Amino acid sequence: MVTIENNCFSIPQICESGQCFRLDAVSEDTYELLAGSRYLRIKIRGNPEETAGGEENASAHTHACGETILYCTQEEYETFWKEYFDLTVSYSDYIDQIDRDDDYLTGAAAFGSGIRILRQDTWEMIITFILSQQNNIPRIKGLIRTLGERYGERRETPDGRIYYTFPRAEKLSQATEEELRELKLGYRSKYICQTAKMIAGGEIDLDALKEMEYTEARTELMRLSGIGGKVADCICLFALHHMDAFPVDTHIKKVLERHYPDGFPFERYKGCAGVMQQYIFYYDLKCR
């Protein structure tokens, strides 16, 4: 069991920031997270509402409030979850970089100050974001769960509940397009089939991908079936941790047109544009 101060760290906010589709609230203060074949139970203690909200207090991120309990060993935390949640980096430093004259971004960051850019599995993000196109979040979660139940491995949590690991590329590459259509993946079935085969067959090397610079990785990802610029950026940000990746979907596009008619200041936010994208996305999602 590991306890973490909620200073720029909020599981509820991360849950709703749309970067992770296998993190769910099971009760008011308890969450369950699946990552690859791992399972983690999480409890929020103290005042989750206050740390999650912070709308009325623009400097909320400077005041840690409450704590988060991870039900894992100290070793699992040190070797995996600490990096997974990007807890070695100070997010208040990112927030401090924001232009004080930019009221919109300042407000968005204060509102979502507990968000972190997770370091998720590359293969998992590839499949997840291919499924995300023209789809809504509850349905994406459902499709991923279904894929796990059909092609993943059955496991048991410490307290005896059943869960399924994320399907491996080798396993998923054996599925036919028809099988996937039966699971209601729709036209994305063909993309998943082709992409799984390309990765399982070694046509795209995920280890090599991790060594690439942002623009190179983005181009490489777009060779996969069903991956365009937006999805490639999501994978670059949420798996490869390229902080210059700035996924532009329909919502972000509208926000940029409205609040940044002369263009978003990417130069200023070199090295943390992706964090800003998340603050904007979450703010827009919750407050539009």
Partner DNA sequence: GCTCAGGTGGTTC
Partner DNA sequence: GAACCACCTGAG
Task: Enter the DSSP assignment of 81.
Answer: I
Report residue 278 as tokens.
């998340």
- 139 is a contact residue toward DNA (CB under 7 A): yes
- Report in angstroms how near the CB of residue 78 gets to DNA at its nearest: 29
- 12 is a contact residue toward DNA (CB under 7 A): no
In the region spanning residues 158 to 217, those forming contacts with DNA, defined by CB under 7 A, are 181, 184-188, 190-191
- Report in angstroms how near the CB of residue 227 gets to DNA at its nearest: 5
Give the dihedral sign, CA 126/182/165/169: negative
Instruction: Report residue 149 CA to chain centroid gap.
Output: 21
Nearer of residues 81 and 282 to DNA, judged by Cβ? 282
- 229 is a contact residue toward DNA (CB under 7 A): yes
- 288 is a contact residue toward DNA (CB under 7 A): no
The strand pairing partners of 162, in sequence order, are: 156
Q: What is the C-alpha to C-alpha distance for residues 258 and 222, in angstroms, rounded to an integer?
A: 29
151, 226, 245, 273: which one binds DNA (CB under 7 A) = 226
For residue 256, what are the contacts with CB-CB under 8 A and spacing of at least 6?
248, 263, 264
Stretch that binds DNA, among 13-21, 28-36, 81-89, 196-204 (CB under 7 A): 13-21
- 98 is a contact residue toward DNA (CB under 7 A): no
Q: What is the C-alpha to C-alpha distance for residues 59 and 164, in angstroms, rounded to an integer?
A: 40
**Residue tagged active-site, from 184, 230, 254, 286:** 230
DSSP one-letter string for 175-200: S-HHHHHHTT-TTHHHHHHHHHHHHH
Nearest to 204 by CA among 192, 222, 187: 222
Nearer of residues 27 and 250 to DNA, judged by Cβ? 250
Q: What is the C-alpha to C-alpha distance for residues 241 and 36, in angstroms, rounded to an integer?
A: 17
62, 92, 106, 135: which one binds DNA (CB under 7 A) = 135
164, 247, 255, 279: which one binds DNA (CB under 7 A) = 247
C-alpha count within 13 angstroms, C-beta hemisphere, residue 75: 0
- 146 is a contact residue toward DNA (CB under 7 A): no
- 230 catalytically annotated: yes
Q: What is the C-alpha to C-alpha distance for residues 79 and 210, in angstroms, rounded to an integer?
A: 19
In the region spanning residues 38 to 77, those forming contacts with DNA, defined by CB under 7 A, are none
- Report in angstroms how near the CB of residue 283 gets to DNA at its nearest: 12
- 250 is a contact residue toward DNA (CB under 7 A): yes
- Residues taking part in catalysis: 230
Q: Which residues bind DNA (CB under 7 A)?
A: 17-19, 132-137, 139-140, 181, 184-188, 190-191, 222, 224-232, 234, 247, 249-251, 281
